[in-house]
Amino acid sequence: MHIPDGYLSPATCAALYAGSAPFWWVALRRVARKIGTRLVPLISVFAAFSFVVMMFNLPLPGGTTGHAVGVGIAAIVLGPWASMLAISTALAIQAAFFGDGGITALGANCFNMAIVASLVAYITYRLLAGRSGLSSHRRVWAAGFAGYFAINAAALLAAVEFGIQPIFFKDATGTPLYAPYPLRIAIPAMMAGHLTLAGMAEFVVSAGLVAWLQRSHLSLLAATAPGVEDLQPEPENTSGWRRVRPLLALIAILTLLTPIGILAVGKAWGEWSPGDFSDPAARQAIAAASGSIAPPSQVPDGLSRLSSLWTAPFPGYAPAFLRSASFGYVLSGAFGIGVILSAALILMWASAHFQRRIR
């Protein structure tokens, strides 16, 4: 579901950056008011959680792969606006350092997985959870469905963005310039895996973490449960980082387990490299995942031009200086998480320093 460079036209990319910008602006303004509170550690931890959970690839129908996003639980704990920033941060680091999603398509990926998915997850959760108590089993089910609908909404948007490319962007001979498959192929191919295994993975992640938080840290569920009164307030001196220690421990464990994510064979639908279009085995795999419709014999011209626009330092979470794919995957996960947490610490330090200067 990470759209690479070259699959969307520059006009589509610009439109989706423009569509994302107002949401980012509102989210930043809301978070800026709480920059010195316990919210920043929470945002960074859920950005790190989303980053690492997306490294666990799952085999999907048609020989492709997919993954959970972690957007359901992020929206439930943080609310939709802070969730948008957390997931966008994870996606930006994946694109910049690991080539997972394109730089030109970052606006599209954030619009799908961070913005729309956060809103869908939050609205679904609030509607299904109602005014039930924070420790109610109803909230566990509400969380599961929130994650399920959120990831499928994101997948549907990605499929539509892929599918409109050959309609609006083609050369004089009618050959697609970017993503080659139309809506009638893109939507079923993308949704087959997300309505089943990827959607269920997000269901389990969201429901499972809410059930865990109900037992270990109930207060983290309070922000999106206004009016619910079955919670003792936390002491004011509870620091933001102390509050998220259990989640940091969970992220550390998941990072060590990330090599499981490279066991799934195949690529995600719509994330093929230009070289795949001329490789017989890859072409057969693309066709099998696309309703038995073969891809173009040549790489679409626009895709070829834009695909090399940015070269990530560690493409595919595989640092070139390491021979072990498993160790490289773990190291990449640890690096990405370190970048996220370091940025949060720097932001909090800068904010505290600024506050001291103006007093």
Q: pLDDT per residue over 76-128, tens digit each?
A: 999 999 999 999 999 999 999 999 999 999 999 999 999 999 999 999 999 99
Q: Please, are residues 152 and 193 in contact by the beta-carbon 8 Å criterion?
A: no
Q: How far apart are CA 257 and CA 329, in angstroms?
A: 10
What 3-state class would DSSP assign to 65?
A: strand
| Per-residue confidence (pLDDT) for residue 260, from 0 to 100 | 94
Q: How far apart are CA 60 and CA 67, in angstroms?
A: 9
Helices (H) and strands (E) in the chain, counts: 15, 2
**Structural domains of the chain, with CATH:** 10-228+235-358 (1.10.1760.20)
What 3-state class would DSSP assign to 188?
A: helix
Q: Please, are residues 104 and 8 in contact by the beta-carbon 8 Å criterion?
A: yes
176-201 pLDDT, tens digit per residue, is 999 999 999 999 999 999 999 999 99
Q: In the chain, what are the helix, strand and coil shares in percent, each to the nearest 5? A: 65, 0, 30
CB atoms within 10 A of CB 292: 8
Amino acid at 247: L
Q: How far apart are CA 266 and CA 290, in angstroms?
A: 13
pTM of the entire predicted model: 0.94
Q: Is a pLDDT exceeding 90 seen at residue 1?
A: no
State how far the alpha carbon of 202 is from the alpha carbons of 2, 143, 226, in Å: 16, 10, 24
Tokens matching residue 337 = 């998480």
Q: Is a pLDDT exceeding 70 seen at residue 235?
A: no
